[in-house]
A and B are shown apart, each in its own frame.
Chain A
Amino acid sequence: MKTGVFICHCGLNIGGVVDIPKVLEDLSGYDSLGYVTDYRYMCSDPGQQLIKDAIRDKGLTGVVVAACSPAMHESTFRKTAEAAGLNPFRCEMANIREQCSWPHRGEPEKATQKALEIIKASAEKVRKNQELSSLSIPVTRQALVIGAGIAGMQAALDIADAGYRVSLVDRLPYIGGHMAQLSETFPTLDCSQCILTPKSSEVGSHPNIDLFTNSEIHSISGYVGNFDVTIRRKAAYVNWDVCNGCGLCMEKCPVKTDSDFELGLAKTKAISIAFPQAVPNRPVINSEVCRHFTQGKCGVCEKVCPVGAIDFKEEDTFIDRKVGAVVVATGYDLHPKTKVGEYGYGVAKDVIDGLEFERLNSASGPTQGEIRRPSDGKIPKEVVFIQCVGSRDQENGYPYCSKICCMYTAKHARLYKHKVPDGQPYVFYMDIRAGGKGYEEFVQRATEEEGVLYLRGRVSRVFEEDGKTVVFGVDTLSNKKVEIHADMVVLATAIVPARGQTELARLLKISTDEWGFLSEAHPKLRPVESLTRGIYIAGCAQAPKDIPDSVTQAGSAAAKVLALFSSDTLSHTPEVAVVDEELCTGCGMCIDVCAYDARTLDARRSLAVVNEVLCEGCGACQVACPSGATCQRNMDTAQVMSMIDAVI
């Protein structure tokens, strides 16, 4: 056995603290080492060549690279070793940077001693390392996209266009998400419907997309490349395959109810299609208000339907799918205005939120796009917009910035001014955050050209008085308290994760932050991957973002899925837990400690088994196993003991 040690200076990162010549000298007397050398940057091409040459010329059977963290360069050096004909799992990193030179910058002598011990321990480990080969996992080249807003639609289209089947699931009966509710979009003010509906119809008719609207994820299991999903399609009480979307049922239905799509600003029927351009253009019966379900009579829709599509007996159906990758794009909700006490708990009729304003301004909305206030339908002449309602408010809401409110409020104020030229919009703000192409210019146009008056300060109170909505605020620029008797108030309420997202995350075993937004694997370098391999995230499910960012992230998530689908199999590290069946008593303690659900009990044989693909090699089961039956490959108990011996 001949192990080579290659010590990297990492410029001055290691070389400036650890006395490398001394380490080299001390190691020269250490038995079992076949070769010891150093280099300024071991990860560079000449550095890697040094390792390759030594493996060949000195006949090394193991390699220790004393440098940075294995997370940084383990794969680099294992590939180097492999290129020189060595089994890559006989190459180990000795981390003398993050765990030595960086934290012990002020005590170089001790750092030098510690570096020596880390290297010796690694050399002991390598000596007993087995030659391993990577595990191979088959990949099902089909994807699941959860959420069919703009992010989910984009991800589904990108994957489907590349030739792979996609199951696109949304709990609402239509696709498009919140974007379908928007009137016009910043910064170009093009109408949301005009840019969304072509995409919706493309999704609806794409040969590679299986659309499951009015559906939810019932269960999911498995791992990267091999997820088993059950989709629950909720009963619509209409056979969508038979229905031709004529709308006669909606016309004749006698029951009126608040429209969710119109956010309660308009009525709809108990059987309805959310909006005329909806994809798929099929109705759903709301069983909570339908007279057939509540009183056991009526059935008008059934009588008038020319194709016999109404089916009151329809039940939820369950569809199984096997997919290789999942994109989660579940979107957002708004912080409910009913939770904001100082602005009237949502009781004041003319205090609305941003999405409600979008509906008022929409050509297909309840007022056909005329800005009319909800209480009496009058055109409001003084409108106050309040930003940061719940956002940037750690005491009464959320500490984060909701990111899009500055822009959509500027848009609202401008659109209002276009429709009511003699009206006065006021915007209460804390800062204007308009980072984006053409965004700052958009806001400046609001103030300079459209006469929107920006007032810097938070509003303390909003209340109704004599048909007006009184706003108590402040303008910190002039140090004056401000009182406005407004005709309507629009609240830019905080963006929060969509209802049910936390439960879905739990089902998928992916993590969320404390507010429920999905956590990315790395905030800068892996922004669309979850920490669970094969599950990707896009859109507002991850954090508040606007349409361009959502589309970008969706495309990026799709690219990750396509990379995964680029081969039939995936490789997985063999450095995972193994069980000595002779020693295992089947106590199950390893199952409780496993964070990855990789351990299960084979009840018939009374043995704990390892799902090697799910195992991340963390070693928790090895520690927990009372009989010493579980160990991690290339980190067995004998190796750990000899590493300790080398140090003490």
Chain B
Amino acid sequence: MKLSREVIHTEDKRKLQDISGEEILSCYQCGKCSAGCAMTSAMDLLPHQVIRLLQLGQVQEALDSKTIWVCASCLACSARCPRGMSLANVMESLRSTFLRPGDRCLNPAEIPYELLEIVPEQALVAAFRKYT
């Protein structure tokens, strides 16, 4: 990874900070968010690693990770962060950045009928909230 001013300070990163309202550099990588996250078993990157990528300007790599979709927005990380950063806000900003082009949203017509039969309604509503 080559680092330079251009790599670290990208327009995408600035937008993410605007959307989330969080100062990414305030994170000191203690890992408390990851330590308390209930969903880490299904994540490819731990929550603090996502933040680290953003600090280094690696926005695309963060957008490509499964973690931002596995995040259940339970807000445990936000409640416990010693630096007062809301990771849930950052995750949400990453998801909305990904979905912003408009062609990546959840399309109800594409959900298989068999799946609809077994998925709880609450999960379906949550999915629409997260993926649209």
Binding site for B on A (CB under 8 A): 381-382, 422-424, 426, 444, 447-448, 451, 453, 455-456, 475, 477-478, 480-485
Contact = CB atoms under 8 A, between A and B. Distances in A.
Contacts, number: 52
B25 A447 contact: yes
Given A382-B5, A424-B4, A483-B3, A451 B25 contact: yes
A466 B4 CA distance: 16
Interface string B1-38: 11111001100000000000001011011000000000
A382 B29 CA distance: 23
B5 A484 contact: no
A455 B26 CA distance: 14
A50 B42 CA distance: 73
Given A424-B8, A453-B8, A480-B56, A448 B25 contact: yes
Tell me what chain B mostly uses at the interface: helix, strand, loop, or mixed.
mixed
Contact of B1 (A381, A423, A481): A481
B4 A485 contact: yes
A448 B23 contact: yes
Contacts of B56: 453, 475, 478, 480
Given A424-B5, A424-B8, A484-B3, A447 B26 contact: yes
Contacts of B23: 448
Contact of B55 (A382, A444, A453): A453
A483 B23 CA distance: 25
A458 to B, nearest CB: 16
A484 B2 CA distance: 6
A444 B5 contact: no
Nearest to B3: A484
B82 to A, nearest CB: 11
Interface of B: 1-5, 8-9, 23, 25-26, 28-29, 49, 52-53, 55-56, 58
B4 A484 contact: yes
Nearest to A483: B2
B23 to A, nearest CB: 6
Contact of A482 (B3, B52, B55): B3
Given A426-B3, A484-B2, A484-B3, A447 B53 contact: no
26 contacts: A382-B5, A422-B5, A424-B8, A424-B9, A426-B3, A444-B26, A447-B26, A447-B28, A453-B3, A453-B8, A453-B25, A453-B55, A455-B3, A475-B1, A477-B49, A478-B1, A478-B49, A478-B56, A478-B58, A481-B1, A482-B1, A483-B1, A483-B3, A484-B2, A484-B4, A485-B2
Contact of A382 (B1, B4, B58): B4
B52 A477 contact: yes
Q: Looking at A382, A426, A478, A481, which has the most chain B CB atoms within 10 Å of its CB? A: A478
Contacts of A475: 1, 52, 56
Nearest to B2: A483
Q: Which 6 A-B pairs have the closest CB atoms?
A: A448-B26, A424-B5, A480-B1, A478-B52, A477-B52, A483-B2
Contacts of A482: 1-3
A201 B27 CA distance: 45
Nearest to A381: B5
B29 to A, nearest CB: 5
B24 to A, nearest CB: 10
Nearest to A475: B56
Nearest to A443: B28
A426 B56 CA distance: 11
A381 B52 CA distance: 23
A381 B1 CA distance: 19
Nearest to A474: B1
Contacts of A485: 2, 4
A440 B28 CA distance: 12
A426 B8 CA distance: 11
A482 B58 CA distance: 12
Given A422-B5, A478-B52, A485-B4, 4 more contacts: A444-B26, A453-B3, A455-B3, A478-B56
Nearest to A452: B25
A444 B2 CA distance: 25
Q: Looking at A381, A423, A426, A448, which has the most chain B CB atoms within 10 Å of its CB? A: A448
Contacts of B1: 475, 478, 480-483
A418 B119 CA distance: 56
A456 B2 CA distance: 15
Nearest to B31: A477
Nearest to B61: A478
A448 B3 CA distance: 19
